[in-house]
Amino acid sequence: MTKLRLAIVGAGPAGIYAADILLKSERKFDVSIDLFEQLPAPYGLVRYGVAPDHPRIKGIITALRDVLDRGDIRIFGNVHFGTDITLDDLKKHYNAVIFSTGAVRDADLDIPGIDLDGSYGAADFVSWFDGHPDVPRTWPLEAESVAVIGNGNVALDVSRILAKHAEDLLTTEIPANVYEGLKKSPVTDVHVFGRRGPAQVKFTPLELRELGELRDVDMIVYDEDFDYDEASKTAVASNKQVMVIDRVLQKWRERETGQASRRLHLHFFAKPLEVVGDENGRVQAFRYERTRPDGQGGVEGTGEIREVPIQAIYRAVGYFGSPIDGVPFDDKHGVIPNHEGKVLSGDDNDLLHGVYATGWIKRGPVGLIGHTKSDAMETVSHVINDQASWWSPEDPSEESIPALLTERGVRFTDLDGWHNLDQHEMALGEPEGRVRVKVVARGEMVNVSRGEDEPLTDSDINGPAPKHASATPADASPKSDNGQAPRHAAPQTGAGAGDSAFEGGSEPAKPTASQPVSLSDLD
């Protein structure tokens, strides 16, 4: 019987579900699947994109672990695609490849001053507080007043972690360096800005309620934002989720405030105009235009300009995919160009036989875990039906890949290694009554996984040097900021990460749903 040797690049939910669906599908051939991940640990954004105080979402890991623990999928961690292994290598050893590398960079927000010192992307910050090995170990938390732009769940995660007292995170898997950084934060006010009104926000009721449960944090909402038009009233009356959100916000309007040491402000009807800088090129204020309902569920400008003094600002306006070496990439939309998961080559949109995509790198950073599964089913069905156009590898033996990586000096990790790391992290947390304490240094993760004791590098100990990250489509790579102090750059995880449940949304009709964020996309 014919055997399909399949490589999947990215060990987040998208990649793991694709492997699982293929193995369970009706087919007339055997299957052998190798999963490649550039981090020493699997699960993508479920491990590195969910706030540490959200353990219920991390329950997704249980389902993913059950798939891997069956033993019919090999995983090669700590393998960088494009350097440790290339597309040409895959063609020599596999019949096809599915890319499930996700979308891990911050989408761009094109307003003046967004690149000032003190302006950050939410994805960068999330990677830091989740202990990603490829970000600096410290984060600049000197601001007393902070702005967060966006009205999705990621914006709420960022604002909650900024406002929450560090000691209230000690029961979670928060890394030690993150706790120490947050403990020293002088923040007193966190301002969250959204372009539209309370009835149009994208966050979910559960995430919103959590803000009101923060210890010693006052929730501040403004009466002027609740003069609903008919479209908003209809949304509240007809949509259960909107109704619950409105109920929570209305209760906050009635709360007495003024006793807490920190405040979290929710500003609606605020269209971003500019991040204002001081004479030293640092963030000084956030300038926005007050909007109002347009009577049709949207908003229009009022011409009223307002300014809020701040010292730091975070844009939480969406994720954006990253180019993959040797694979076509749509710079405008941040996805691999494809038709139903079949990758298209060049400007002529010819099919690139043997190359497929799934998850956020296929459709853009939208949708919940259910969308990830249906998305993977579509891609896998094409892999099965395209048998006639599979690659013909020179050496499809399963022994060839570990031999190749070993020859190149790659300290790859496997499933047993992940079990070692998983158990080690849980053991670290046990004395303190925590589920785990996450190991942050890549070298230490690899040592624990492989049972080795190689010396750690400066990068392992301190993390990489901070970089500036801009997700503008014209230049996907991190770049400096005209001589200003560089900002942190979001790590390239190489995992189909975000394909979990972070930003709500419906399944898009086509991949172009992931285009860079404009002001009209800000809710």
Please state the residue numbers annotated as binding site. 14, 37, 45, 151-154, 195-196, 207, 360, 367-369
Cβ atoms within 10 Å of 263's Cβ, excluding its own? 18
Per the CB < 8 A criterion, the answer to whether 183 and 167 are in contact is yes
Residues annotated within the binding site for FAD are 14, 37, 45, 360, 367-369
Helix (H, G, I), strand (E, B) or coil at 457: coil
Residue type, 252: W
β-strands 283-293, 270-277: how paired?
antiparallel
The dihedral through the CA atoms of 228, 231, 233, 238 has a sign that is: negative
Helix (H, G, I), strand (E, B) or coil at 271: strand
Which residues does 213 contact at the CB level (< 8 Å), separation at least 6? none
Per the CB < 8 A criterion, the answer to whether 250 and 225 are in contact is no
Cβ atoms within 10 Å of 93's Cβ, excluding its own? 20
CA nearest to 415, candidates 16, 5, 6: 16
Bridge partners of 147, per DSSP, are 191, 313
β-strands 283-293, 299-309: how paired?
antiparallel
Counting every residue written for the chain, the total comes to 523
Tell me the CA distances in angstroms from 227 to 48, 222, 231, 253, one per residue in order.
Answer: 39, 10, 12, 13
Per the CB < 8 A criterion, the answer to whether 313 and 146 are in contact is yes
CA dist 160 and 147 (Å) reads 12
Residue 31 φ/ψ region, left for φ over 0, alpha for ψ in the -120 to 50 degree band, beta for the rest: beta
Residues annotated within the binding site for NADP(+) are 151-154, 195-196, 207, 367
CA dist 133 and 417 (Å) reads 17
Per the CB < 8 A criterion, the answer to whether 27 and 387 are in contact is no
Helix (H, G, I), strand (E, B) or coil at 432: helix
H helix runs in 213-346, sequence order: 230-238, 240-254
Radius of gyration over every alpha carbon of the chain, rounded to an integer in angstroms:
23
CA nearest to 88, candidates 355, 476, 329, 403: 355
Residue recorded with tokens 């599908």: 25
CA dist 394 and 378 (Å) reads 28
Residue recorded with tokens 């190149």: 408
Token pair for 12: 């987040």
Residue type, 184: K
CA dist 343 and 27 (Å) reads 22
Which residues does 507 contact at the CB level (< 8 Å), separation at least 6? 363, 366, 367, 371, 374, 375
